Structure 1
Amino acid sequence: MSPMKQFYDLVVIGAGPAGSAAAIHGVAAGHDVLLLESGELGRDKTCGDGLTPRAIHELAKLGLAHTLTSHYANHGLKLHGYGGSVTAPWPDSAYGRVGSAMPRTRFDELLARTAAERGATLMTSATAHSPVVTDGRLTEFTVEERQIRAKWVIVADGVRSTFGKALGRKWHQGEVYGIAARSYVDSPRSTEPWMHSHVELRDAAGTLQPGYGWVFPLGDGRLNLGCGALSTTARPAKLNTKKLLTHYTDTLREEWGLGQPQAVASALLPMGGAVSNVAGENWLIIGDAAAGVNPLNGEGIDYGLEMADLAVNLLGSGDDLRSAWPALLREQYGEAFLLARTAARLLTYPKFLPAVGPLALRGPVGAALMPAAARLMANLVTDEDRDLMARLWRTGGHAVSLARRGSPLWS
């Protein structure tokens, strides 16, 4: 690692997928980049580890797609519940038809080391704190008792976003957010090329929960096995996610030949852009810190990688980041996120899933409907798509955005 200077063109705070991708794009754009990580590389984070074709598409821009897909590749989703199962291969799209998965301990380190190899200065165990902001401009902050200044700062410090909070970032928990628990489990089926989701998620007492369970093969002898539920302040999910995960694991043990769960972890997930104060005169917030997570599936890596590219391209544009960054996020993701937030909110009503679930996953209706739903869950609808489902999704998003105009959305 190179010595840390006192001034950089661009400082990126957080070396997760979004932050490291921003550093890589920043170096490619000719910036002198400092990438800061508060812990050591390879530390564990609560995540499903799945990489959709949309994420692989972004990794291709970084020259890393083959590294992921040569390690392990998957072909789509298998959805289970209410007495039915539906297989939904990744559809033909601009993103391609190949997904993957890699534990975050390895994935994050791969991206951070790539940023360093490309020319970024990488500092680990280096916590940024004590930002000094004058008239919206971040003039300096402290790292290891040294004052650091930068022309631009990209904040990508994860779901808690400690540095973002110090800059005024606010999370609106009245909107849908996720609570999740995840483990790693040995299984002889770890190379199976399908991601599995169980949308009928019940606790040990048989009570239906407003969320889903997942089994994501990793190709290395292990599965990422987890479960998540949706919650709001008005209808909080009153459950212990680790206990729910234990029960969920027990229900799958024989089918998957499961070993004992390891590295069990849990987290809260801001979702759907439900944060405000995400930019200042020379700084902006991306990734999980900006609630760049789809409420329908908890996926955020693809959005984080995309936001990194968008953010670096915006630097030096001459636009006022205070208004330009929130506006760009709303333009790119606003309607889809508001629609997903509205749909996810329905799942928090106790009577909704029992009424809709059996219809969606059994018989001819499920066979026709769920592949389309899987496409939405995997964030694979693009502006260029002109099929009926894509048009309906965009129309619904436009209608919801008008109806919920006052909802917090990167405001």
Structure 2
Amino acid sequence: MNQSGPDTDVLVVGAGPAGSATAAWTARAGLQTTLVDAAVFPRDKTCGDGLTPRAIGELERLGLADWLRAHTVNHGLRAHGFGQTLHLRWPGGTLPDWGSAVARTELDDHLRTTAVKSGATAVDGERAVDVRMDGDRVAAVVFKGEGGTTREIACNRLVVADGVRSPLGKKLGREWHRDTVYAVAGRTYVDSDRSDDPWISSHLELRDERGEIVTGYGWVFPLGNGSVNLGAGTLATAKRPADVAIKPLMATYAASVRDDLALTGELRMPTSALLPMGGAVSHVAGRNWALVGDAAACVNPLNGEGIDYGLEGGRLLADLLGDGTADLTDAWPALLAQHYGESFSIARRLAGLVLTPWVLPRLGPIGMRSDLLMTLALRWMGNLVTDDDRDRAARVWRFAGRRSVARDARPPFA
């Protein structure tokens, strides 16, 4: 225990996109920053690996555009379903007009390196197991390393970015509310002769081994390295739990698209995870600590994407941490609600509607017959709307979000 003062100004637990982005921005702001992760890098992470324009914009801010373009660039979404195939370009506007996909093994390692180059100190192989409080403030975090040895790192401010399960967040009182929609998703890798395809593919008519429609979607994201990320996800709530085995579902999905997408190998490294979504957690901050990224359920309920919100949230939180005297208890959930509350509210309401058994079979074919409707759906589902957008589609999305929040029994982050 350090009796003379904190070991670091900002302690970030978790070196995924949210943690590394926060660490990079706080270090660039001149704050002494320590970034700790339980894993030894490089390490894998269950994810679709896709980077939509919202994520691209944040990576550009970090100075990583050239690095991204050296991997793969895609134009938008190739949507399949109900006898139709549509090519939907990324809308652009105030966001970049291109996307990418990078395996998390590489992406997270590069983001962590970016944080180190920005001035952060990185430590891996040490798991956060407890906190030591000083009144209503976190004074230190207890870590367990190899061999079971423990040590404390004292800090002025703590950032919890330890993922969807957030064990450290639970120690601080974080609670996940499953009454709103969440996802059960899995991913695998497979060799493909179309790994340089300039379109990501999404199959909205996802069927299980019995041929029944599943309330979710399948994806194939080309990685440009001879393989693709293939996965499937389904939606659920506490009242409508998911009744599907994800790994068999991925195998069935892969078999159905093998010829069309030139899949040439066997499925590798299959993994799955539960995803809290749409800000469906409470107690995301205290006097000098805050949850960010997946730990704060900053995951889009309509497409399952979380990388963009992790990167963006890290930057927003770093700005807030710049004022060393700021009480984060109310300030951080208010900032999250300001940026994501409306979009998450309407998105999880729409996602919950999809769980109604008749909705997808009846409305899916109608939507897939219209380029206009699906272009709007791509923009809204991907939350590719910023505060600077003033077009009609953006205004409709924000209006719907305001109405949705007003009807929420528990708004996002509450």
TM bucket normalised to smaller: over 0.9
Q: Is the 8 A contact 1:177 1:232 kept in 2?
A: yes
Partner of 1:301: 307
Q: Is the CA contact (8 Å cut-off) linking 1:69 and 1:99 kept in structure 2?
A: no
Matched, 1:180 2:177: no
Tell me if the contact between 1:294 and 1:340 (Cα under 8 Å) persists in the aligned partners: yes
2:320 paired residue number: 314
Counting matched residue pairs gives 403
Q: 1:159 maps to which residue? A: 164
Structure 1, 133-142 or 325-334: larger mean CA deviation: 133-142
Once the two structures are superposed, residues 366-411 of structure 1 have per-residue CA deviations (whole angstroms, 9 ceiling, x without a partner) of 211101111122221112222221111111111111111x314212
Give distance in 2, aligned partners of 1:63 and 1:386.
Answer: 27
SS across alignment from 1:254: coil
**Gaps in structure 2 of 5+ consecutive residues:** 145-149
Task: Give SS of 2:221's match.
Answer: strand
* Contact kept in structure 1, 2:278 and 2:299, CA below 8 Å: yes
- Whether the 8 Å contact between 1:87 and 1:371 is mirrored in structure 2 is no
CA distance in 2, matches of 1:131, 1:122: 19
Residue deviations 1:123-168 (CA, integer Å, cap 9, x gap): 1101112112343311112124222110111110001101111111
Whole-Å separation in 2 of the counterparts to 1:140 and 1:151: 8
Cα deviation 1:74-119 (Å, max 9, x = unaligned): 1111111011121110113111111111000000000111211222
Distance in 2, matches of 1:385 and 1:118, equals 31
1:268-279 → structure 2 map (5 Å cutoff): 268-279=274-285
Residue 172 of structure 1 contacts residue 408 of structure 1 at CA under 8 Å; is this kept in 2?
A: no
Contact 1:276 1:408 in 2 (8 A): no
Task: Check the 8 A contact 2:128/2:142 in 1, yes or no.
Answer: yes
Cα distance in 1 for partners of 2:411, 2:391 equals 30
- Aligned ranges 1:12-411 → 2 under 5 Å: 12-144=12-144, 145-258=150-263, 259-317=265-323, 318-362=325-369, 366-404=370-408, 406-411=409-414
Q: Deviations over 1:257-312 (max 9, x none)?
A: 21110000000000000000100110000000100000000001001101000101
Question: Which range moves more in the overlay, 137-146 or 34-43?
Answer: 137-146
Do the aligned partners of 2:14 and 2:35 also contact (CA within 8 Å) in 1?
Answer: yes
The 1-side partners of 2:162 and 2:65 are apart by 24
- Between the aligned partners of 1:166 and 1:278, the Cα distance in structure 2 is 12
User: 1:374 is matched by which residue type in structure 2?
Assistant: L
Which deviates the most, 310-319 or 252-261? 310-319
The question of whether the paired residues in 1 share the 8 Å contact of 2:405 and 2:411 is answered with no
Gap runs ≥5 in structure 1: none
RMSD of aligned alpha carbons: 1.2
Shift in Å, 1:6? 6.0
The alpha carbon displacement at 1:339 in A equals: 0.1
> Percent sequence identity over matched residues?
49
**Structure 1 residue 53, shift from structure 2 partner:** 1.1
Find the residue that maps to 1:319 and give its secondary structure.
coil
CA distance in 1, matches of 2:310, 2:241: 26
Quick one: distance in 2 between partners of 1:78 and 1:342? Answer: 25
Q: Name the amino acid aligned to 2:42.
A: G
Structure 1 match to 2:147: none
